[in-house]
Structure 1
Amino acid sequence: MADPTDPRVLVINSGSSSLKFQLLSPADGAVDATGIVERVGQEQGTARITAGDAESAFSGPVPDHKAAMRIVEGLFGDVGLSLSDDRIRAVGHRVVQGGARYSAPVLIDKQVRWDIHDLGKLAPLHNYAAVDGIDGAQALLPDVPHVAVFDTAFFTALPEAAANYALNRELAQRYRVRRYGAHGTSHHFVARAVADHLAAQGRDVSALRQIVLHLGNGASASAVRGEQPLETSMGLTPLEGLVMGTRTGDIDPTIYLHLHRQAGLSADEIDTVLNKRSGMMGMCGMSDFRDITAAVEAGEEAATLAMDVYVHRLRKYLGSYTFVLGGLDVIAFTAGIGENVPMVRERLLTGLEEFGIELDLDANAARGPGLRVISSPASKVAVMIVPTDEELSIAQQAAVVARELAA
C-alpha cells in the first residue's frame, strides 16, 4: 500500500473514442483509482471508476475529450478523491507515435503538441486522439506538468539496418517511412523486469539476449540485447508483424493491389479489411482467445487453422530473432494472451528442446501472480511470464520529468 503522502501521477491513455485513466504512485505502483470513459464523441457515452472498494459510473453525452475529462473529475469526486489534490505532481500521456525525434519522455509544450499532431500522419487512429486528450487534461489541470511518453521511444535505438526498409531512399526520407515499432513502453518494462530478476540472482545481464512477446489483441515481438533493442515486429504502423486479433500482420504488399483490382475495394475499404476484419477474427470469427481455445479443444476447423497460423508466425519470429541476437537466453511472454493462454505458449515452444528450450508443462498450465519461470530446470533458455504494467512505466517516466522540472 502506498504512503498516502507520496506523490501521485495521473496516467491518461486517449483513444479515438475512449479515455482510460489511472491515478497511482510511481514509487510502488499502488493504484488509487482506475477507470475509462467510452464512446467519446457520441451522443450517449459511458464511464466508470474504481477506487478501492468504491465505484461510480456515468451515462450521458460525451461530445469530446474535454468533456470526458470533466466527467473523470466528477467520478473522482464520487469516490472521495480530487484531481486538485496537490499530491498529483504530473500527468503522463501515452502517445503511440513519437517518430524518430522523441526517444524519451518530454514535457508537453506548444511545439511538442504540434509535433504529436503532425505525427498523426503516421498514426491517425492514435495521435490525433492523444492531442485531444492532452487538450482536455491540460484544460482541467493547467498547473501540473503534462508529460508525453511515447510507445515508439524504446525503438528509436534500433540499428539502422533494422529500422530502414529497402524502399526508394528519396520517398522514404520525404515521407518518413521507417520502422517505428509500437508497444515500446511494454517491451522496455518487461525487458528491464527480466534483467532485474536475473541480476538479483547474481547473473551478469549486460549482454542478456531476450525475446519479448507482447501478445494481446495487438501483438508484437522484440529482440533485446542488454538494454539495446535490435529488432521489433511492428513497422511504420502497428499492422506489420505477428497475427493479431483483427490485423493481418505480415502480408504481401501486392495483396492491396489485388483486392483493389479484383474485388474493387477502395484504399479505405482495404485498410478496414486488413486492420479490423482480418487476423483471428477474419479467420475464425473470434478474437477473444478464451473462445478460440475452447473452439480448438472442441475440434472446430476454422479455429484450429487460425491457431496454427498464429503460432506458426510466432515461431518464425522466434527463430529469426534468435539469429539476430546471436543466441538466446530468455523468452518473456506478456500482455493478455501472453500471460493467460497456456495453449499458445505450449504450442509455440513444444519440440524446441534441441535449441535449448524446454517448457515445464505443469508450470505453464498453472496460474499465478507476478513474474514466474515456466521453463524446466534443464532448459538452457529461461522462459518467463512477466506481467506488463505500462501505466506504472508511464507514471515513473512522467515523475522523473516532473522532478527534473522542479529541481
Structure 2
Amino acid sequence: MDILVINAGSSSLKYQLFNMEDGKVLAKGIAERIGVKGGNINHSWMRQGAYLTKTLDIDMPDHHAAFDEISGLLVSKDAGIIQHKDDIDAVGHRVVHGGEHYTQTQKITDAVKKAIEELIPLAPLHNPANLIGINAAEKAFPNAAHIAVFDTAFHHTVPEKAFRYAIPEKYYLQDRIRSYGFHGTSHRYVYGQAVKYLNNKKLKAITIHLGNGASMCAINEKGESVETSMGFGPLAGLIMGTRSGDIDPSVIFHMADELKIPLEDIKNVLNKQSGMLGIGGSNDARDIGRLYEEGNKNALLCYEMYGHRIKKYIGAYTAVLNGADAIIFTAGVGENDALARHYACEGLSALGIVLDEAANVSGNHPEEPVEIQSGSSKVKILVIPTNEELEIALQAYQVMRDRVDKSPG
C-alpha cells in the first residue's frame, strides 16, 4: 500500500510518499512560494537505494497547480516512482486543529471538512491552509482515500482538571475556551519509539518537542497524554523561536492600557518578536549557539531562560505523573542542540535526572534513539528523532486496514 502524506501551508506544500510494506520513503519534496512569483518544487525520489533530486522552477498560482506538478513528477519517466497516480491508495493530511469532536484519525468527508472550517477561529494560521490542501489533493487524487490526522487528537485524554481554565464556565460551554494542546503527532511518535527502544509498555515519560515551535507533554503508563504545555493556542508554555511562551496576562493589559499599544501589535510582539529572537537576537538556535561560544551575554541569558522554562515543566510533569521513567528530547533543537539539553537538565539530580555531558554532545543528529543520561541517573534521558510524516502515514494505514477488516465478506 502506498500512502502520500501532505502537510499544506498557506504558500507551501510538503509531501512524502511511503511504501507501507517496509515504511520506506519512495519520494519526498516541497513546493514553495505557491501563489507568488518565483515558485519552485524540490523533489527527491528513491532509485536503486539512493535518493536522486530535481528542482523544478515554476510558478504555481494555487495549491491545485502545485498538486498537478507534484503528481506529474511522481509518475514522470525521469523522476517518477509510480506508474499512475491511482497507485496511491490513500493521502494522509496533517490538520492542526480538530477541536473536541475529532479525537481520532478520520476519513475525510464533507462533514469533516465543514468541521475543519468551523475550527478556523481556533487555528487561523493553519486550518485554512490544511483545508485548501485537502480540497486540492482530492481533485488531484480522486480515487484515493483522504484521511485527516489531527495535531490536537493525541491530547484528548487530558483530564478536565487539566484542560479547563479557571474562568466562568460559560466561556467553556459556549465558546469552547480550554486547553487543546498541539504537536500531538510528534509526541505520540517519539513516545512509541521510546516504548520500543526501552521495551517498557508501561512507560511514564515527558516528551520535549523543541523546534521553532516548542511544547512538552506528560504521558502516563497507558500511553495517554495527561498534560501538555501549549493551550488554547500555540503561544503558551515554553520559550520558542519567536513566541514568548507563558507570560503574566497583566503584561498584556499593561501594554494595552498604559503603553497604548494596539492589540494587534501586542499579538505580533508575543508571537513574532519574542522568544529566542527577543532575548538573543535570532530565532535560529544555531545563531544563538555561535553567539554563546563567542561569549555574548544575551545568548547566555537566552539559553539559561530557555532551559529554566523547560526545567519548570519537567518538575511539574514529574509531579503530575508521580515520577517519570524517561524524558525525551526531539525536533530540530531537541535533536541537534546539546547546549539546550544541558541547560534543560542541569540541577535536576534531586529528581533522578543526571546528564552525561559527553554523551549529550555526541548525541546530536541521531538517526535512532540514543541515551544521554549518566550511570547515576535514575531517569532515562533520550534523544529520539521525530517523524511526524511517518506517524501520519501509520495512522492513515491503520484507518485503511480497519476499513478492509470491516468490509463485507
Given candidates 322, 333, 338, the residue that maps to 2:334 is 338
Q: SS state of the match for residue 62, structure 1? A: coil
- CA gap of 1:61–1:263, structure 2 versus 1, over 3 A, is farther
Q: CA RMSD in A?
A: 1.5
- The answer (yes or no) to whether the contact 1:47–1:59 under 8 Å persists in 2 is yes
For each residue in 1:346-374, what CA deviation from the matched residue of structure 2 results, as whole angstroms up to 9, or x when unmatched?
12212322321121121111144200111
Alignment of 1:227-376 (within 5 A): 227-366=223-362, 367=364, 368-376=366-374
> Aligned in 2, Cα 1:28/1:81: closer, same or farther, shift over 3 Å?
closer
Residue 82 of structure 1: CA displacement? 4.2
Secondary structure at the aligned position of 1:43 is classed as coil
Contact 2:307 2:345 in 1 (8 A): no
Alignment of 1:138-217 (within 5 A): 138-199=138-199, 203=200, 205-206=201-202, 208-217=203-212
Q: How far apart are 1:86 and its partner, in Å?
A: 4.5
* Structure 1 residues 340 and 83, CA gap change in structure 2 (3 angstroms): farther
Q: Is the 8 A contact 1:93 1:130 kept in 2?
A: yes
Q: TM-score, normalised by structure 2?
A: 0.93
SS of the counterpart of 1:146? strand
How far did 1:40 drift? Answer: 1.9
Paired with 2:257 and 2:23, the residues of 1 have a C-alpha distance of 52
Instruction: Note if 1:219 corresponds to 2:214.
Output: yes
SS of 2:17's equivalent in the other structure is strand
Amino acid at match of 2:403: L
Residue number in structure 1 paired with 2:65: 67
Q: Which runs of 5+ in 2 are unaligned?
A: none
CA contact (8 A) 1:349 1:358 kept: yes
Counterpart of 1:175, as a letter, is: D
Structure 1 residue 269, shift from structure 2 partner:
2.0
- Aligned residue among 27, 47, 58 for 2:41: 47
SS at match of 1:42: coil
The secondary structure found in structure 2 opposite 1:332 is strand
Give, as a single letter, the amino acid of the residue that structure 2 aligns with 1:60: I
Residue identity opposite 1:399 in structure 2: Y
- Whole-Å separation in 2 of the counterparts to 1:97 and 1:298: 41
- How far has the Cα of 1:340 moved from its partner? 0.8
Distance in 2, Cα, partners of 1:147 & 1:191: 22
Q: Do the aligned residues in 2 keep the contact of 1:9 with 1:88 (CA within 8 Å)?
A: yes
Q: Indicate if the aligned counterparts of 1:26 and 1:392 stay in contact, CA closer than 8 A.
A: no
Helix, strand or coil for the counterpart of 2:30?
strand
Aligned position for 1:28:
22
Find the counterpart in structure 2 of residue 98 from structure 1. Answer: 98
Give the AA of the match of 1:336.
G
Q: Deviations over 1:85-143 (max 9, x none)?
A: 44421100000000011111100010000101111110010001000000110001011
Shift of residue 83, structure 1, vs aligned partner:
7.8
Offset of residue 161 of structure 1: 0.6
CA–CA distance in structure 2, aligned partners of residues 163 and 181 of structure 1: 9
Range moving further from structure 2, 321-330 or 368-377: 368-377
Aligned length: 396
* Deviation by residue 1:68-96 (Cα, 9 ceiling, x = unmatched): 21121233225123483444211000000
Judge which range, 330-339 or 167-176, deviates more.
167-176
CA separation in 2, counterparts of 1:129 and 1:357? 41
Identity %: 44
**Structure 1 328/404 Cα, relative in aligned 2: closer, same or farther at 3 Å?**
closer
Deviation at 1:38, TM superposition (A): 1.2
Conserved? CA contact 2:355–2:374, under 8 Å: yes
1:10-43 alpha-carbon deviations (Å, 9 max, x no partner): 0000112211111012343211111111122223
Distance (whole Å) between structure 2 residues aligned to residue 270 and residue 45 of structure 1: 32
Shift of 1:402: 1.9
